[in-house]
Each structure stands twice: as C-alpha cells, then as structure tokens.
Structure 1
C-alpha cells in the first residue's frame, strides 16, 4: 500500500544515520579485535589464509568509515530511485561527493568479491591445494586485483549510467521535496528511472542494473558453487587429513555457511530490492535507504562469526583476557601492599612524634 502523499521520510534518514553510527563503532571494535587476534593471539598458522582474515576486516572498517562520512541514502519512487547524499563532508564540492558515492558503491562490490575469494580459497584448500599458490607471495595481488576490478566496474557503471539527467530530475523532484524536503538539483548522487513517459525502457539507465546484476551473479555463483561442492565432498577429503586439520576445516566451513546467510540478508537482498523495484513500475514510495544501514553491520557480524566458530580465536581471546585480569590483579595488589606499608610506617612514627611535643 502506498504511503500518504504528505508523509515525511526525514525520520527514516535519522534512524539510518543512527544505525550507521552503531555499525561503524561495532565494526571498528570487532574487526580490530579479529585483526589483533589473528596477528598476535592465535598460535596456529593459517598460512596464506591469514591475508584474507586480515584484509577482509580492514576493508570492512574502511567501508563503514566511508558510510559514516557520507551518510548515503536511497529513495524509491515508482519506476525510479535516487541514490544520494545531502551532506558536504570536509566542505567538498557536489561533484566530488558524487564521485565518493560511486567510490562507496565500488567498495561494496569489492567486499562481496572478496567474500567469493574466501570461498574459493577454502574450496581449493580441501580439493586442490596446489592452486593455493595463487594466494602466496606476489600472487596474492591477483586476488586483490580481482576484487578491485569488480569494484571499479561497479563504481564506473553507477556513475556513468545513473548520472542525473533532466528527465530523472523532473520525475523525482516533486516527491523528493515532499518526502525529504530536499531539492534534487542540490544533491550529490545518481538516479535511475527505468521507463520514459511513453513506457519505453530507458536502456542507458537500466544498463547500470544489468552491470550490477552481472557482478552479483558472478560472485554469488562462485560462493554457491564452492559451498555446494564442499558440502558434498568434504567428508571424504577430510578423512585423509589429521584430526586437527579436519577440525579446522570443519570450523571454517561452518563459518562460510554463516557467511552465505549473513551477506545474503545484509548485502545482497537490500541491493536487489533497490535495483529491481523500479523495473516493476509499481505505484510505491519507499525510504529504501533504511536498508543501506545493514551494510555497516555486516563486517562486525562477519568478524563475530569467525571469532565465535573458530575455536582458536575463542582460546586466544580467553588467554588474552586471562593475562589482562592477572596483570590487573597484580597491579591492584601492589597498590594495596604499598598503601598498607605506608600506613604501618606512619603508625610507627606517631609515638616518636608525640614524644617530641
């Protein structure tokens, strides 16, 4: 059911900003914790997979930081949407903010691409260890370039195909004023309107949706392919490994399964709703920007999944916490002993002081 014409969506923007702030701080906390435990806490050597365990949360923190700076928003109206930011961080020009919005979407695409790389690593670690050479030394740059390539493709696609034109301005101007009290001519962002006034597809705009679909399809295909074949053949392959390695692979497999469900809900589904809704040309007005705030929550959730499922991280966290509490107790005990000794010294000097009176 369509919302009332006079209803304002400004409150949803405020809610989204609050969630983005929570997402930033939680992502920073949990991702830094994961990085610290990976580098200094966990005793087991994860090999070249360590690079991915560190790189992914680093990108997550970077992604959450960009969102906190830009506060991007999306508004969906009938056959169109506008992806924009009304803020001017660091007094940047409108066009510069538009570039940063495109860059933000590119980091999103790199994130989902990096997720598929993780699945590929675990798949090869079980079924074809020789291919793990692509994750060692300078070859690891191939994995990075893979993610960067799709990030650039996504960013350029939305910047070029979804550039705001006169038709999209006229299509969304009135509703933007009603819902957000914002003039579309003053914002930084991109728009998509799927159909023109005669009902024909605006293929130039829709090319952006096709580009996004291609990128998501490639990454999700890799993820599902690796997950299905690992599920089918993992038990037989793991019988040939030691108990310790079998346990580790099973833990990482459980992690990856959760890493399918979580990004499907927080990363893929919101984007699919936003980009495909205009193609249906329904009479609807939705503050779809509220779904973007799920993006900043994902890196924190991913870090928690790894630290909870993989036993080595739980053990490392307990050991570090135990050492911290022991040091704290030792410090408090030292202060207490010092205070007691000072009290005894003062008490011992009181009679001498009284005799001198």
Structure 2
C-alpha cells in the first residue's frame, strides 16, 4: 500500500522535471548555436582550440539528453543518500537504467575534465606555446582520452562502491516510502551510507566519495592554477602579441574567469554538498536532487558566456542574422510579386472582350 506523497515533495518532483526539460532545450539551443558559429560563422582561425569549443557543447547536449530521459534524483537522509530513477524509458530493465545512471555520472566527470583541458590550452597558448603541439593532429586524442579516462573512473567507482546493499536499503527504505511513495526494490540507482549501526565508517561505501573527491581535486586544481597564473601575468605576456591577438586573449581570459565561477557554483559545489553531507550525520531529509538541475543548465550557460564575451562570435552572429533576415525579406518580396502577377493575369483574363486593351 502506497503512502500519499506530501505536497511539498510532490511539488519538488514536478519542479525537478520541469527544470530538466528547460535545461535540455536551453542547452540544445545555445550549444547548437555555439557549434554552428564555431564551424561556419567565425572567420578567425582558433587553431585546435576550435575542436575544444565544439566538443564541449556536444558533450553538454549528450549530458542534458540523458537527464531528460532518466529524470535522475537524489534523496539525502541523515548519514546516507541515494541517487536513483524510477523511469523505465524504452522498456529498459532496472539494471539497464542503473547503468544509464552510471553513464550519467561519468559524463559529469568527463565534462569537468574537458573544462580543465580548456584552461590548460589557454594557459599554454599564453605562456608556453610549444606545448600546444599536444593538441595538434593525433595528439588531440590524448586530450579526449584524458577526459574519458576520468569519466570512466568516476562511473565505475560509483557503480562498484555505490551498489545498493542490504544495510543501505534498510536504512533508506522507510523514508523513501514515506517521502516519495516509492518502493526501494523498484528503483534503479546507487546509495551511500557513511556509518553502520555501531557508528563505524563504512569504508567500502566511502571509497566512492574518495574516488569522486580525487577526480574533482585534480580538475579543479588545474582550473585554479591556470586561472590564477593567467590573472597574475597575462598583462605582461600579451604585450608581446599583436593587438588583435592581445584582444582575443583578453576576451578568452574574461571567458575563463566566468568559467571558473560558473562551474564552481553549478558543477562542483552541488556535488560536494551531496557527497559530504552524510559525514555530518545530521537528522535531515532533503531532496538534494534539486542540485542536479544546475548540471543540465551549465552547458547552456557556458555557451552563452563564450558567445557574449568573445567579439568574433557576436560579429558572426550579427552577420549571419542579417543575412538570414535579408534572405527572408527577399523571399517574401518574391512571393508578394508572384501573387501580384497572378492576380493581374487573372483580372485580365476575366475582363470582357470590349474592355480588353487593343
């Protein structure tokens, strides 16, 4: 027998699904525009950085698509939390949905890893241009492999160390039923409970947190290191470049500053709160899945940042919009002319012979 879901939790579920839909459509729209402008609109040659500018939004669209399909959720209770989904898209089995959630977490790690690669590229472009050879030709695959490696490590660590065991199921079952009217045996996902009944740390579960912390520390350290040194020395270094390149580097630097603040708020902090809250063992019941909404919105925000700050994108967008409007205007003019000609011929045909021109 299912227990009626409290109105507040019902509203939360609806809100989370609405934000997931909004995130998918906004991410798809803005990331598509960014990719299109990068490939066909922007005239300046960004070198191999162009591929990073294309690859990142493509991964963002993939990430948002998985969230739209699965509607993953997180529920935190005292010393534990569960990442789960009750959806069964395409009639997938419970195990298949679990693997898709694992894939979802892996794409998150791939996203933050690709962000650190972008910072490293900009850092070397200013301070050690010879090292940009790592981004050219087949070596670009090293950058891709770097991001994929950490994505796989995060996903497998989450799956292996976060498996739902009997203790975690018993710990969270009653609360899940009361808050979400959900039978724990029917959900697909992973759990983490920090302490056992005697108050001892469940180290096997905690290895999941340690693995995730290591990956985040590596990526965030690269981001912060490159960001700080570019802030300290960029003025001196860019003086040796041409005015055009100097302005471009400054624009990308402003972009990267926002790309530090934005992922800190939308990508890193939410995960840190979710995975470290159990260690406090507070008496709380929180729908922490609300933080997942920020993950989906981030790729759209990142695309907007690049297109707003980098002048080449603004100019390319204006040029392509003007051309599109001109073509639409010309097409409408042609249609109107054809209609006028048709009406004139029709009128001439229907005139009496006596009124027809000689």
- Give the distance between the partners of 1:46 and 1:89, measured in 2 at CA: 40
Q: Residue 121 of structure 1 corresponds to which residue in structure 2?
A: 121
Compared with structure 1, are the counterparts of its residues 194 and 343 closer, same or farther at alpha carbon in structure 2 (3 Å cutoff)? same
Corresponding position of 2:270: 270
Is the 1:307–1:313 Cα contact (8 Å) retained in structure 2? yes
| Mapped partners of 1:354, 1:109: distance in 2 | 83
Name 1:320's counterpart in structure 2.
320
In structure 2, runs of 5+ residues without a counterpart are none
For residues 67-216 of structure 1, the aligned pairs below 5 Å read 67-216=67-216
**Is the contact between residue 60 and residue 111 of structure 1 (CA under 8 Å) also seen in structure 2?**
yes
Classify 1:348/1:51 alpha carbon distance in 2 versus 1 (closer, same or farther; 3 Å).
Answer: same
Moved >6 Å (runs of 4+): none
**Larger CA deviation: 234-243 vs 5-14:** 5-14
Q: TM-score, structure 1 length as denominator?
A: 0.96
Q: 8 Å contact 1:31–1:299 — kept in the other structure? A: yes
| Alpha-carbon shift at residue 291 of structure 1 (Å) | 1.0
* Number of residues of Structure 1 aligned to a counterpart in Structure 2: 352
Residue 82 of structure 2 aligns to a residue whose secondary structure is strand
Answering whether residue 326 of structure 2 is matched by residue 291 of structure 1, we say no
Q: Does 1:60 align with 2:49?
A: no
Structure 1 equivalent of residue 259 of structure 2 = 259
Following superposition, the deviation at residue 354 of structure 1 comes to 5.8
Match of 2:231 in 1: 231
What does residue 35 of structure 2 align with? Answer: 35
Distance across 1 between alignment mates of 2:353 and 2:298: 68
C-alpha displacement of 1:10: 2.9
Shift of 1:335: 1.5
Using the TM superposition, give the Cα deviation of residue 355 of structure 1 relative to its aligned residue in structure 2, in angstroms. 6.2
Q: CA 1:353/1:287 → structure 2, altered by over 3 Å: closer, same or farther?
A: farther
Q: TM-score, normalised by structure 2?
A: 0.96
Once residues 40 and 143 of structure 1 are traced to their aligned partners in structure 2, the CA distance between those partners, rounded to angstroms, is: 24
Could you tell me how far apart the structure 1 residues matched to 2:72 and 2:11 are?
15
The answer to whether the Cα contact below 8 Å between 1:7 and 1:179 also exists between their aligned partners in 2 is no
**Alignment CA distance shift 1:33-1:6 (3 Å):** closer
1:170/1:342 Cα in 2 relative to 1: closer, same or farther (>3 Å)? same
Give, in whole Å, the separation in 2 of the partners of 1:347 and 1:7: 67
Gaps of 5+ in 1: none
Report the CA distance shift for 1:138/1:294 in structure 2 as closer, same or farther (over 3 A): same
